[in-house]
Structure 1
Amino acid sequence: MEIRQLQHFVSVAEEQHFTRAAARLMVSQSGLSASIRALERELQAPLFVRTTRTVTLTEAGRALLVEAERILAQERAAREAVAAVQGVLRGTLTLGAEQCIAGVNVAGLLAAFRRRHPQVEIRLRQWGSAALAEQVAAGRLDMAFAYGTEADPEHLRSVALTSEPMTVLSHPDHALAASGAAPAPCDLGEEVFVDFHPDWGPRRVTDAAFAMLGVRRTVALEVNDVHSLLDLVGEGLGVAVVPRHFESKRPSLYATPLKETGGVVYETAALLPVPEATSPAAKALMALLEEETHGAHIDAGD
């Protein structure tokens, strides 16, 4: 099994089409097909179900994809490590981040990184924290800033950045503002909630806090960006439980702490592969982050 064959396999899996994959790899379609057939013969298993329009992974193909992506990420990290030893940091930094993550100003950090390492191409992807952890573990991302999920020690490690309590946001005319009292989850069971998709960090924290007390809640308005959440709360369509630093993003909303959370807080972390698979670019970004945090507090990004 050769690295080239794994590159061919991953490209076909991502494109779900031999012609598009061949164009992306700048190889002939016949050569690509022959490479995949040779890999299937070596593994003694079909990797794709082929139709006239598309190709899809078999069960064996799905199993290979996880390992192939990880191997290719390690191979790239090895090449970049050799270049780094020679005094030049180059290649690609593929970073993932959840929106408005606490503990790091992503835009400012990347700008400083580019000034220091201009030969490194920066790519940024935004997803929820669960998806980001999967992408890092699979080798598709060099690292990510996300909610501090429990790490898979074989493929993922988590470096804590910061933690903060949760806050309830509501319209200024809401009963919460009139009472002035900090509510507990049991006080909010009848409320209509605006919240993020289930794999977002703030949603996972809120779900855990309410589940711990056995309180059911209705998430009627589910969004995938921060400003939509704030807009919906601002129109009085529901309340939201969010990390405390969200308060500053819409001062017109009423904010009050959420109490009785059983110690559940919003924790953010840098998610990285295991040390031997961490790219030099990711290591350099973490080193820069440490410099910044020693020099001054890094506020949450917009």
Structure 2
Amino acid sequence: MELRHLQHFVAVAEDQHFTRAAERLMVSQSGLSASIRALERELQTPLFVRTTRRVTLTEAGRALLGEAERILAQVRSAHEAVAAVQGVLRGTLALGTEQCIAGVNVAGLLAAFRRRHPDVEIRLRQAGSGALAEEVDAGRLDLAFAVRTQDGTDQLRCVPLADEPMTVLCHPTHRLAVAGAAVTPEELGGEVFVDFHPDWGPRRATDAVFTAAGVRRTVSLEVNDVHSLLDLVDENLGVAVVPHHFQYKRGTLTALPLKGIGDAVYETVALLPPPQATSPAARALMSVLEA
């Protein structure tokens, strides 16, 4: 099995299109098709279902994709490790992060990293903590800044970044703001909630708090970015339970402590593979962060 066959396979799987994948790889479409056919012959099974509009993975193709990505990531790490021994850090840093993550200024960190290692290409992906953990585990990301989660992180290292309490945000005319007191999950049970997609860290932390309290809540307004959440609360369309530092992003809102939740906190971490699988670029970024 040749590495280029795996590289071609992953590209087609990502683009779901032979022409686009060929253009990205800068190879001919006929050459790319021949490479995929060679791989299918070797494995004795089709890897793609081909239509006139796109290609999709077969069950065998889905099984191969994760392994192919891990193999290519290991090969990339090997090249980068040799370069690092020679005193030059090259290659790619693939970083994932949640929005407005506590404990790290991602833009400032990447700027400092680029000044130290200008030959490293930086790739940044923003997603929810669950997806980020899966991508680090699969080798598609070198590391990620995320919220600590029990799902999919058994094999990953969690380096603590920050922890903070959860806070209730509401409109100044809302009954909770008028009362001006700390609130419990039970007192929020009948409210209309604004919250993030279930994969985002703040949503996971809030869901865990309400589940532990035995309080059922309904998220009526679901968003994928912080500013949309703040806009909806600012229009008095609902309340939100968010990490403490979110309150400083919109001074017009009222922030109230959330009490009666025990030791529950919003904890952010850096997710990394085991030490032997951590890329030189990831180690270098952590060195900048810890400096």
State the TM-score, normalizing by the size of structure 2: 0.96
Q: AA paired with 1:239?
A: V
Whether the 8 Å CA contact 1:151–1:157 is kept in 2: the answer is no
- Structure 2 gaps of 5+ residues are none
Q: Which residue number in structure 1 is paired with residue 135 of structure 2?
A: 135
Q: Distance in 1 between matches of 2:153 and 2:123?
A: 25
Q: Distance in 2 between matches of 1:168 and 1:151?
A: 26
Q: AA paired with 1:87?
A: G
Task: Provide the secondary structure at the position in 2 that maps to 1:198.
Answer: coil
Following superposition, the deviation at residue 152 of structure 1 comes to 4.3
Q: How many residues align?
A: 291
Q: Distance in 2 between matches of 1:16 and 1:41?
A: 20
Q: Which residues in structure 2 correspond to 1:43-192 (within 5 Å)?
A: 43-150=43-150, 152=152, 155-192=155-192
Distance 1:267 1:153, change over 3 A: closer
The CA deviation string for residues 88-132 of structure 1, in whole angstroms up to 9 with x for no partner, is 111111211111100111111111111111111212111111111
The CA deviation string for residues 34-91 of structure 1, in whole angstroms up to 9 with x for no partner, is 2212211222221111123221100010010011111111111110111111111111
Whether the 8 Å CA contact 1:169–1:233 is kept in 2: the answer is yes
CA RMSD of aligned residues (A): 1.4
Q: Which residue number in structure 2 is paired with residue 18 of structure 1?
A: 18
Following superposition, the deviation at residue 153 of structure 1 comes to 6.0
Percent identity over the alignment is: 77
Q: Which residues in structure 2 correspond to 1:279-298 (within 5 Å)?
A: 279-291=279-291
- Deviates further, 124-133 or 144-153: 144-153
Following superposition, the deviation at residue 244 of structure 1 comes to 0.7
2:228 is the alignment partner of 1:222: no
Q: Which residue number in structure 2 is paired with residue 295 of structure 1?
A: none
Q: Distance in 2 between matches of 1:254 and 1:69?
A: 46
Q: Which residue number in structure 2 is paired with residue 296 of structure 1?
A: none
Task: Provide the secondary structure at the position in 2 that maps to 1:69.
Answer: helix
Whether the 8 Å CA contact 2:48–2:57 is kept in 1: the answer is yes
Q: Distance in 2 between matches of 1:159 and 1:117?
A: 22
Whether the 8 Å CA contact 2:137–2:153 is kept in 1: the answer is no
Whether the 8 Å CA contact 2:142–2:279 is kept in 1: the answer is yes
- Structure 1 gaps of 5+ residues are 292-302
Q: Which residue number in structure 2 is paired with residue 297 of structure 1?
A: none
Whether the 8 Å CA contact 1:99–1:126 is kept in 2: the answer is yes
Whether the 8 Å CA contact 1:97–1:127 is kept in 2: the answer is yes
Q: Moved runs in structure 1, 4+ residues, more than 4 A?
A: 151-155
